[in-house]
Structure 1
Amino acid sequence: MFVKRPLIVTTLSSKDWPQILGRGVLSALLFFGFSMGHPLWIMGAIFHQVPLFSVGLQYGVRNLLFSAFLSLSCVLVLNGITHALVYGLFFVGPCFLITFQALRHHTSAKNKVRWYPSGRIVAYLTAYIVGLTVLLSSALLLGDNLQVLQQALSKGLAQYNKNVEALYQPFIAQLVLILPAFFASFLFILTLINAIFAQNILEKFKCNIRPTPTMGEFELPWWPWWSIAGLGVLAFFGKGGIELISLNVLGALLNAFLMEGLAIIHIYATKYEQRNLFLWIFYTLMVVFGWLALPVLIVGIFEPWLNLKERFGKI
């Protein structure tokens, strides 16, 4: 059994508190970049979770709470209560969840520390983001939110070309329906990138509490497969709001299977002497040619039946 209470670093020096509080302020300032509109500010804002993750993964969950509280207070002062709620719910929440689960551990009889599996951490993140997707999808159905969003996107296109607006109007109407799924995917990927980046920085300076897990150890629990089957049925047979919510939740859930597929790629890469080079080339191609994510997603979904991890592990 893994302990419910994660490992907490309680011995702090006078030099640690400026780090904890300063990183919270830095996170708030970086998040402010989203509202600036300038590409450089937005690039910085993409990594606004890194300071918070670095606090949690170096000093523990309790000290992350102090840093996050200060960060939320700064966002509240700089941007107002709406931005603070968005920041807390969509960015601080996942940061706290991942840190809490990542620091759970179990000590065996031989005093060997076993850390909570990375696949289950991603499953928790997926469940959290699925909940947010349900919330956003439900919000689209309230009042005239759907029509307002469609009009906003249409006006945005009209600023560039009025003919394009009329041409893509049917596409916009369909795109708005699945925007929660797109946002969920963005949030999922962004959170994991920030967490991995923060952990790598801490490991480089030997400040990390937990050793960095490898993708070869990644394995999802069974509930995502049961969920995708149920959601597929609801999306196919459901109507109206049920169909809309099911489709968006299904899109959010697929991110976990993409990670399962990437774990297979990492295991396959071990057969090459230049493993890191192979992975760099693969990830570059996947970013440039987005369609490469599709076969990775498919093998991730069917991994329990294909058993590719075990097969590639024997090569």
Structure 2
Amino acid sequence: MSRHLFIALGGIASAVLSIAFATGKPSMIMLANLAPLPLFLVGLGYGAKAGFLAGAVGLTLSAGMGGLVAAGMYGLVHALPSGLAFRQALLQRTDDKGQATWYPLGAVLCWLAAFAGALLVVVALVRYEQGEGLRQSVSSYLEMVLRVVWPVLAETDRNEILAEMVPFFPGAAAVMWLAVVVGNGLLALAILTRSGRNVRPGPTAKDMVLPDWVSWLMVAAAVVSLLGSGDVEYIGRNLVMIMAVPFFILGTAVVHGLARRVRARQPLLVVFYVVLFMSGWARMAVVGLGLIEQWVGVRRRVAGPDPVREDE
């Protein structure tokens, strides 16, 4: 298959998968989560320029199939973040020994989290300009969804569900979106590595490092959440959830690093992920472990030298 044909097919496949979300069917919605995959396959396999061309094809096709709104959603949700990710992931420089040093994937993750946080702030400002706060907008939207998908639900039960969902809905939605983008990127890299078409090597847990600036974003979000009130506190709380994602991934990398020192590594990791899936407190503990690793260096103290940190 020629390069240009692969680029075109990647953009077409991405746009078609994205439009599948509009059907409303659960199976199609799940399929739409794979929309970034073709863009990553092109970008990580043929270079950033090729990936951007595939995104442009997908953007044009989305506009033709669903109009400007569909094109805008495709650009914000799939094309732009995927392009940011593979563009940064393909950056490299030569060290003093003449060896290529790749841009840390942890820093790519931080840029995606920062993008999600910035998008949340922009949405909040737009809603404020329209005379409605972000929390009120989220509450109204979720109430409408519940009335449509569960019309027989009693008002008392609906209010209880809203009380549980509204406080953390924007942050949870952003975390799920980050998981989709990162998951597609890693899947594409694994496919390309297996076929020998990868430009950069695949990631390992010991190479997971974060830039220092992400700590300040996390601190700023926490300060806004603690000192703010009303919608400001609401925005800060959800920003904390978003910026916690890189530290969560870093925390899991620390666990993997420590597990290498134990003979029963596989059973230990299975138990770890089962507990992680079932317990919110466990997920918070892993975020805390990631923060400690970022500020203190658990791996360096327990398992030898830490990877060199990049601050780009």
TM-score bin, normalised by smaller chain = 0.7 to 0.9
SS in 1 for 2:98: coil
- Per mean C-alpha deviation after superposition, the further-off stretch among 75-84 and 134-143 is 134-143
Conserved in 1, the CA contact under 8 Å of 2:62 and 2:70?
yes
SS in 2 for 1:94: helix
What's the counterpart of residue 251 of structure 1?
241
Task: State the shift of 1:168 in Å.
Answer: 3.9
One-letter code of the match for 1:135? V
Q: Which residues in structure 2 correspond to 1:115-134 (within 5 Å)?
A: 115-134=102-121
Deviation per CA, 1:21-68, whole angstroms, max 9, x where unpaired? Answer: 101101111111211122222222111111100100010011112111
One-letter code of the match for 2:78? F
One-letter code of the match for 1:82? V
Conserved in 2, the CA contact under 8 Å of 1:133 and 1:252?
no
Task: State the shift of 1:193 in Å.
Answer: 0.4
Question: How far, CA to CA, are the matches of 1:210 and 1:204 in structure 2?
Answer: 12
SS in 1 for 2:131: coil
Conserved in 1, the CA contact under 8 Å of 2:106 and 2:208?
yes
Question: How far, CA to CA, are the matches of 1:148 and 1:234 in structure 2?
Answer: 20
Can you give the 5+ residue segments of structure 2 that lack an aligned partner in the other structure? 306-312
Conserved in 2, the CA contact under 8 Å of 1:106 and 1:114?
yes
Conserved in 2, the CA contact under 8 Å of 1:136 and 1:180?
no
SS in 2 for 1:106: strand
Question: How far, CA to CA, are the matches of 2:96 and 2:157 in structure 1?
Answer: 67
Question: How far, CA to CA, are the matches of 1:246 and 1:128 in structure 2?
Answer: 15
What's the counterpart of residue 212 of structure 2?
222
Residue of 146, 163, 177 corresponding to 1:157: 146
- Computed over aligned residues only, the root mean square deviation of the Cα atoms, in angstroms, reads 2.6
Conserved in 2, the CA contact under 8 Å of 1:154 and 1:165?
no
Task: State the shift of 1:121 in Å.
Answer: 1.7
One-letter code of the match for 1:157? L
Residue of 190, 204, 209 corresponding to 1:200: 190
SS in 1 for 2:101: strand
Alpha carbons of 1:41 and 1:278: their partners in 2 closer, same or farther (altered >3 Å)? farther
SS in 1 for 2:64: helix
TM-score, normalised to structure 1, is 0.86
What's the counterpart of residue 93 of structure 2?
106
Task: State the shift of 1:97 in Å.
Answer: 0.8
Q: Which residues in structure 2 correspond to 1:49-60 (within 5 Å)?
A: 49-60=36-47
What's the counterpart of residue 310 of structure 2?
none
What's the counterpart of residue 308 of structure 2?
none
One-letter code of the match for 1:150? S
Aligned residues: 302
Question: How far, CA to CA, are the matches of 1:24 and 1:282 in structure 2?
Answer: 38
Conserved in 2, the CA contact under 8 Å of 1:52 and 1:95?
yes
Can you give the 5+ residue segments of structure 1 that lack an aligned partner in the other structure? 1-13
What's the counterpart of residue 6 of structure 1?
none
- Taking every aligned residue pair, what percent have the same amino acid on both sides? 28
Question: How far, CA to CA, are the matches of 1:50 and 1:284 in structure 2?
Answer: 27
One-letter code of the match for 2:20? G
Q: Which residues in structure 2 correspond to 1:171-186 (within 5 Å)?
A: 171-172=161-162, 175-186=165-176
Indicate whether 1:71 and 2:71 are aligned: no
Conserved in 1, the CA contact under 8 Å of 2:93 and 2:100?
yes
Indicate whether 1:32 and 2:22 are aligned: no
Residue of 71, 89, 102 corresponding to 2:76: 89
TM-score, normalised to structure 2, is 0.86
Task: State the shift of 1:302 in Å.
Answer: 2.3
Question: How far, CA to CA, are the matches of 1:102 and 1:87 in structure 2?
Answer: 21
Question: How far, CA to CA, are the matches of 1:298 and 1:192 in structure 2?
Answer: 21
What's the counterpart of residue 131 of structure 2?
143
